[in-house]
Structure 1
Amino acid sequence: MTTRAVVEELLRRIGTGDPEHIAELYAERGDWKLDWPEAEHGRAATPWIRHRSTRADAAAHYRELAEHHVLEDVATVIERILIDGDDAVVLGEIRQTARPTGRAYRARFALHLTVENGLVTRHHVYEDSLAVAQAFEPEGSEERG
């Protein structure tokens, strides 16, 4: 499969919400990073935000993401997919609602993927982490302005 075909299939599977089926497109070992401050990784409110390295980790990511969002209120707008050999960059915006607070948010993102032998070996996400963090902050938190 070409890089574009794998990326388009990955995005399609993410849209279906089946973590195990999504994870099948990831290599057994990979490089998965999220561009968040290290101190914010693994917070109780956002446990899916952490580095990962295995196919099982990928499935866990999508399960944790679903557990913490209102599934009926999820949308992703893909604006562009750029391909350069084995590398792809997906640009867009996620629209979700935090299950614990009920707050909706939008976050722009860039997703850098590398595809080798038909599987994703790199998954680096750059997103508006402030929008996500604010949606999950408890009411009355000092950080909310």
Structure 2
Amino acid sequence: MTSHSTLPGSAARTRRRTASSVAKFLGLLAGGDLDKVTAVFADDIDWYVPGSASLPWTGARTKGSEVADYFRTLGANIVPEKNVDDIEALLIDGDHAVMLGRFTRDARGTGRTYITPIAMHLQVADDKIVKLHLHEDTLAVAEAYAE
């Protein structure tokens, strides 16, 4: 495996640009300005959050313009001020980034708290996020919202 200091110039630049784009996304998301969050995504995206029709924020999206609606819908179904995001690692390889950790959420409709390990796969092109796939414990999420 190549160390960071010996990456060829182009590969090192790609890695830095990916890291910068992901950091910008996470920072804007933490700040809560969803229009600015949307701006870090490309027009055409590959977005997938597993779930079901009973969880309206889940599923595929193909347009960057759909990102803000995802976060608004999710925000309406959780208690955002109780969110705990425990990020254990952010791994970057070229234009790919993988975030590993655990999310704790409270389901607004049932009041149940759920904890899910997560892996979020992001891909960046031309300083824009073109892919976001979230991998989480879908059973824990579904059970938290089950009536």
Shared fold per TM-score greater than 0.5? yes
Q: Which amino acid aligns with 1:30?
A: I
| TM-score w.r.t. length of structure 2 | 0.85
Give how far 1:48 is off.
0.2
Root mean square deviation of aligned Cα: 1.2
How high is the sequence identity, in percent, across the aligned residues?
A: 34
Counting only pairs closer than 5 Å after superposition, residues 1-145 of structure 1 correspond to structure 2 as 2-36=17-51, 40=52, 42-43=53-54, 46-138=55-147
Q: Following the alignment from structure 1 to structure 2, what is the Cα–Cα distance between the partners of residues 131 and 110?
A: 15
Preserved contact between residue 50 and residue 59 of structure 2 (Cα < 8 Å): no
In the alignment, structure 2 segments of 5+ residues that lack a partner are 1-15
Question: Which shows bigger deviation, 24-33 or 1-10?
Answer: 1-10
**1:106 aligned counterpart, secondary structure:** strand
- Kindly tell me the number of residue pairs found equivalent between the two proteins: 132
Q: Any runs of at least 4 consecutive aligned residues in structure 1 with deviations exceeding 4 A, and if so which?
A: none
* 2:13 match: none
> Which whole-Å CA distance do the structure 2 matches of 1:118 and 1:3 have between them?
7
TM, length-normalised to structure 1: 0.86
SS in structure 2 opposite 1:125?
A: strand
Mapped to 1, the partners of 2:86 and 2:27 lie a distance apart of 12
Deviation at 1:74, TM superposition (A): 0.8
Distance 2:50 2:135 in 1: 5
| Larger CA Rg, structure 1 vs 2 | 2
Give distance in 1, aligned partners of 2:47 and 2:119: 14
